[in-house]
Amino acid sequence: MIDATGVTCRYGRPGSGGSDADDGGGLVAVDDVTLSVPDGEFLIVAGANGSGKTTLVRTFNGLVEPDAGTVSVNGAPVSDDLVAARSAVGMVFQDPRDQLVAATVGADVAFGPENLGCSHAEIDRRVADALAAVNMAGREDERIASLSGGERERVAIAGALAMEPDHLVLDEPFTGLDEPARRSVLDRLRALRAAGTSVIVVTHDLRDVLGLADRVVGLSAGRVAVDAAPREAAEELPELDVRVPAAFDDRPADAPAAGETDDP
Ligand SMILES: Nc1ncnc2c1ncn2[C@@H]1O[C@H](COP(=O)(O)OP(=O)(O)OP(=O)(O)O)[C@@H](O)[C@H]1O
């Protein structure tokens, strides 16, 4: 379980261009957000550019420290044990350059499990499994520098999957992925959720994921403006400048997600 209570995050100093809600100095990016994500929930965090999505989810593993409020993961405050929080909450960043650390694909995906102290056999299993999930099976020896942007995104996703975290946060994960990779990652997210991992997808375009979600939280100017089941949220989100599938339907989780077919 991830629990955020009264979380407020500010950037910068007074006079740097804050919002109307700016009463504590600087720009208020996240404004008094309270949110619980139960184990096994597939949550979408949606909102327009600059609505505070990335800032909010970065508090879940301590990458951003709230100016007010608390975040706890599996019952423990994030600020008490950053290492535990970062093991429990895997994160795929919007820009893979923020995430890739090694020279080759295999070494990069192995980095997380190595730091967790996994055995060589376990590391090999996790790397192979994670690369298969992003449609890059057998490409361990390729150099990161020679990969395309979309391939780098896929390696970044594989790196987070290989940590096998309790909670997985993906910030705009589908932007550069081709169709087979997108389907493969969606299949894996569906399987993870079924196995009890909470999956949190940050996006301003719900077409890929709305059919998989249990709940949608929509942010506007750092505040929770929508917190609803997908069908209800789909009606409210266009007001937040969030794109929703033209013909959303809530088919069962093992059916193709809305937006995955070519139907008009
Ligand atoms: N490092 C930073 N320094 C100063 N301001 C920042 C920083 N990061 C974000 N902001 C500001 O905080 C607000 C929220 O940004 P954030 O990145 O959380 O939004 P977002 O909803 O994830 O946006 P996007 O959809 O564009 O990724 C924006 O006004 C942004 O300009």
Nearest CA to ligand 1 atom 12: 29
DSSP characters for 81-128?
-HHHHHHHEEEE-SSGGGT--SSBHHHHHHHHHHHTT--HHHHHHHHH
ipTM: 0.98
224 in a structural domain: yes
What separation in Å is there between the alpha carbon of 11 and the centre of ligand 1? 9
Nearest CA to ligand 1 atom 1: 11
247 in a structural domain: no
79 in a structural domain: yes
Q: What sections of the chain are H helices per DSSP?
A: 53-58, 82-88, 105-115, 120-133, 149-162, 179-194, 230-236
Q: Look at the chain and report how many structural domains it folds into.
A: 1
Q: Is the dihedral of CA 237, 240, 242, 245 positive or negative?
A: positive
179 in a structural domain: yes
Q: Which of 20, 53, 58, 202 most suits a substitution to test ligand 1, by most atoms within 8 Å of the C-beta?
A: 53
164 in a structural domain: yes
Give which of 5, 8, 191, 161 is closest to 92, Cα–Cα.
Answer: 161
- Mean pLDDT over 209-227 rounds to 95
| pLDDT-wise least confident of 17-26, 92-101, 102-111, 238-247 | 17-26
Tokens found for residue 118:
């996994």
Nearest CA to ligand 1 atom 27: 49
127 in a structural domain: yes
166 in a structural domain: yes
Average pLDDT, the chain: 88
Percent of residues, the chain, with pLDDT higher than 70: 88
- Of the pLDDT bands very low, low, confident and very high (cuts 50, 70, 90), residue 25 is low
- Mean pLDDT over 111-121 rounds to 94
- Which numbered atom of ligand 1 lies nearest the CA of 19? 29
Answer whether 0.90 is exceeded by the pTM: no
Radius of gyration of the chain (CA): 18
261 in a structural domain: no
Q: Which of 16, 51, 63 most suits a substitution to test ligand 1, by most atoms within 8 Å of the C-beta?
A: 51
Q: Which CATH number is 131's domain given?
A: 3.40.50.300
What separation in Å is there between the alpha carbon of 165 and the centre of ligand 1? 25
- Which numbered atom of ligand 1 lies nearest the CA of 52? 18
Domain that holds residue 145: 2-240
- Mean pLDDT over 186-215 rounds to 92
In angstroms, how far is the first alpha carbon of the chain from the final one? 38
pLDDT of residue 1: 94
